[in-house]
Structure 1
Amino acid sequence: MRRTNPFKPTAGRMPPLLVGRGPVLDDFEEGLENGPGAPGRLMRVTGARGVGKTVILTEFGRMARARKWDVIDETASDGLAQRLLERIEPPRRLFSLSVKPSVELSGVGGVSLREAKVSSQQMPLTLRDAMARRLDVLERKHAGLLITVDEAQAARREGMVAIATAVQHMIREERDIAFVFAGLPTISSKWLNDEVLTFLRRAQAEPLGDVPLTEVRDAFDETFHDSGIAIAGEALKLAVEATAGYPFMIQLVGYHVWRVAYRKHRDESEVSVSVDDAREGIRDAMARLGDTVHGPEMDGLSAVDKTYLLAMAQDDGPSSTSEIAKRMNKNIGYANMYRTRLIEAQVIKDVGYGLVDFAIPYLREYLREHAAYIRMSAQ
């Protein structure tokens, strides 16, 4: 019998299990239940790459749609507020008339319709009015509007100002609206200290971190069993420990261990994961982690950030910040500026007085393996 792999290690794809994310989902559902102004209706979700921020937004959308709400999902980039406006209100409301005496334009007298772009000065009020009109329709049906913005750290300031201003007015007017924005931890310093965006400080903070290994073990045991493949003993122990509680790695390890076991044993009456299957699947998962998490993470860092991390990678465990400065041939104050940056980005973590360690699983191994290339790219 053909079995389907229950794990989905693809960015933004809804996995069959949201291990360790019960509390944040409960907070959002409670917000929907408690009505306008409830804390769970204004939320910021933060965490390093791979902890499942996009997956959480997707699940929030599913929960809202189950209540017949409209859901608008956006990813921050140039033109965010304009795109959001056009999705809240059909573009036909935003057309303006232009008349040009040109034979190149079709229509009598060269009349054409063009879509009007709203200026940054007009956008807050325009967006607010559009939200109000959309909610007028939805609330008559006892429904509401959920807006989610992913990768919020990449948004332009004027776009966030317009959205925050409009949402703030909707909340003041006790409209059925929910707004959730997600991104790297840097959004806290980028947006929340902006005087114009003080409203966003009220957003309920939901930092996503690692999942306890006991929960990973239970999830693996149940998910493998439900798919018709058994995993237990040393094989289960190896798979659980390889995840390091990192949500994306949970999906990767589960996917590749399941895949190896199924390919090898699918013709057997009972399929179970051997220790060799687990080890092979873990190797495949680690290779994929480098391509999808470590590589993109390094691409987003400065040359000095990379130099700092390479200095850390020389240690087998936590690194002394003073020793890192020596390896960089810099004074401690200079090195500490980059220590702070990397901690805020959750690439590394403070593990005691004067000590730091990697926050992303297996980043040390990746840096060692790709050190030559990283040094060249950092020059």
Structure 2
Amino acid sequence: MDPISNPYTPNAGATPEIVIGRDELLEDFKVLLHRLGRGRTNQSMIVTGLRGVGKTVLLGEFRQIAEEFKWRVLELEASKHDDSHFRQTVYSQLRAALFQISPKAKWGEKARKAAQVLQSFSLSIDPSSGAPTLSLDVDPAEGFADHGNLTLDLTDVLVSIGEAAREHATGLVLLFDEVQFLSQTQLEAVIQAIHKTVQRKLPVTFVGAGLPQIAELAGDAKSYAERLFKFPKIGSLDVEDAKKALAEPAHIEGVSFSDDALNRAFELTEGYPYFVQELGYQVWAVADDDVITLEDVEDAKDAYEAKLDSSFFRVRLDRATQLQIAYMRAMAQLGPDSQKAADVAAVMGRESTQLAPTRSELINMGLLYTPSHGYAGFTVPHFDRFMLRAVPDLDVPPVQKRRSKAKKH
């Protein structure tokens, strides 16, 4: 069929034609903004899930809702950067948010105070951290956001901007993606700063998204995190929602799916949103008629798997060392579920203590997560299948012997 009219969007973070199966979370977010806007408190949320389940898409929907509420939005995709780079990014976006709250000519007392606090915050940014820091053309507020401590500084900034937002009958939403890549210092700072805005009933909230270990990381950072945030988990769509995610975009273009085509599509994708979009895209490319059949789905299967292998999966494997690849291949050999470290080591003919650094590296890279003590699972659905296709044989590199120090004569 016509590729221009293809209604599917298999791109990282791209919003599909119709967002299916997330209505409850979208409604929860609206309730959150309504309550904060009325000076009442409500738990913020950190959405967790594997890769490809639509966390980034959900954040995009939250942004759109916030904009409809006339709230200001700070968006950040976390990465492994130092605190100075984090400060630079946060400052730049908060500076823009402050001007959106009110143009400088209309600043009230609270907005001017927020600008001065933000100016103080900017002085702690290392000039070599990236883009030049644009001034707010106000004097810094002495004793605010100038502590040299990220937690204290960020708290001062968010409280002052929250007060400015309330003065101008608006609010501020912080939307952070890939939260698991925040350093412990950064995560602690965000949690404590939001805690202070909640205590003062300010219209400021934080909504994050990340891999499943986030709830544990947040709890490690601050013991009260579980009371401050909800941690909703999102995963694959159920059968009916997965079928809707395929059928409804096609219906907009005057195309329908046969029942057996939808059933086979669910078998192939298991309802994972990214896979649904990719399969839909490939099926559209091979179908000739305005009724998509089981045969069309079967004809698209090879192209669907090849596209996932070459992009969605391969980009992750290409970052791994030979030993890391062997570790993941051994996990895949054991099956799709989370695996014990000792069992993976046994498949590789090693002791689990020898492989602990490799396992830790894969977790830090975002390729594995730890659902429970001693277990690790792939952060990407169906990654075990890919590993068996991409690496047919388990090849464990030999143990590197330490060089003995030359004896002094």
Q: Smaller-chain TM-score range?
A: 0.7 to 0.9
Greater Cα shift, 323-332 or 230-239: 323-332
- CA displacement 1:33-57 (0-9 Å, x = unmatched): 22355434x1111112111111111
Q: Aligned with 2:232: secondary structure?
A: strand
Work out whether residues 180 and 213 of structure 2, in 8 Å CA contact, stay in contact via their aligned partners in 1: yes
**TM-score when normalising by structure 2:** 0.71
Cα deviations across residues 83-127 of structure 1 (Å, max 9, x unaligned)? 212321359863899xxxxxxxxxxxxxxx986997772444443
Q: How many residues align?
A: 352
Supply the distance in 2 between the matched residues of 1:330 and 1:82 (Cα, whole angstroms).
44
Relative to structure 1, the CA distance from residue 229 to residue 347 in structure 2 (aligned partners, 3 Å threshold; closer, same or farther) is farther
Per-residue deviation, 1:128: 3.3
- Which residue number in structure 1 is paired with residue 128 of structure 2? none
List aligned pairs for 1:1-379, cutoff 5 A. Answer: 4-35=5-36, 36=39, 38-40=41-43, 42-77=44-79, 78=81, 79-89=85-95, 94=119, 121-194=148-221, 197-201=222-226, 202-261=228-287, 264-265=288-289, 271-298=290-317, 306-314=325-333, 324-331=344-351, 360-371=380-391, 375=395
1:139 Cα deviation after fit: 2.4
Structure 2 unmatched ranges of 5 or more:
99-114, 124-132, 400-409
Secondary structure of the corresponding residue to residue 231 of structure 2: strand
TM-score, normalised on structure 1?
0.76
Point out the more displaced range, 64-73 or 131-140: 131-140
Query: Equivalents in 2 of 1:355, 1:160: separation in Å?
Result: 24
Deviation, 1:173, is 0.5
**Residue 292 of structure 1, CA deviation:** 3.5
Instruction: Give, in angstroms, the shift of residue 70 of structure 1.
Output: 0.6
In structure 1, how many angstroms separate the alpha carbons of the residues matched to 2:295 and 2:279? 14
Q: Is contact 2:245–2:276 with CA below 8 Å preserved after alignment? A: no
Structure 2 letter corresponding to 1:284: A
2 CA distance for matches of 1:129 and 1:343? 33
Distance 2:198 2:236 in 1: 32
- In 1, the alpha carbon distance for the partners of 2:336 and 2:12 equals 29
- In the TM superposition, what is the alpha-carbon distance from 1:375 to its structure 2 partner? 4.5
The CA distance in 1 between the partners of 2:158 and 2:292, in whole Å, is 52
8 Å Cα contact 1:318/1:355 also seen in 2 = no
> Structure 2: which amino acid aligns with 1:174?
K
Closer, same or farther: CA 132–198 of 1 in aligned 2, 3 Å:
same
Residue deviations 1:160-214, cap 9 Å, x none? 33333322211111001110122112333334213xx334333110112121122
Corresponding residue SS for 1:206: coil
Q: Which amino acid aligns with 2:187?
A: M
Counterpart secondary structure, 1:180:
strand
Q: Is the 8 A contact 2:18 2:248 kept in 1?
A: no
Shift in Å at residue 61 of structure 1? Answer: 0.8
Looking at secondary structure, tell me which structure has more strand per residue.
Answer: 1
The letter of the residue matching 2:209 is A
Q: Distance in 1 between matches of 2:149 and 2:335?
A: 55
Check 1:247–1:119 CA distance in 2 against 1; reply closer, same or farther (3 A cut).
farther
Distance between the aligned counterparts of 2:151 and 2:370, measured in 1?
Answer: 38
Shift in CA distance, 283/19, structure 1 to aligned 2, threshold 3 Å: farther
SS of aligned partner of 2:173: strand
CA distance in 1, matches of 2:95, 2:386: 46
Distance 1:71 1:355 in 2: 37
Worse-superposed segment, 84-93 or 20-29: 84-93
Secondary structure at the aligned position of 2:206 is classed as strand
Local SS of the residue matching 1:28:
helix
- Cα distance between partner residues in 2 of 1:139 and 1:67: 14
> What one-letter code is carried by the residue in structure 1 that aligns with 2:189?
A
**Alignment-derived partner of residue 101 in structure 1:** none
Counterparts in 2 of 1:259 and 1:376: CA distance versus 1, 3 Å: farther
Q: Over the residues paired in the alignment, what is the CA RMSD in angstroms? A: 4.1
Q: Deviations over 1:325-377 (max 9, x none)?
A: 432213578789988998997858989xx999877443233112221698489
Contact 1:81 1:162 in 2 (8 A): no
- Summarize the Cα distance change of 1:69–1:319 in structure 2 as closer, same or farther, 3 Å threshold: closer
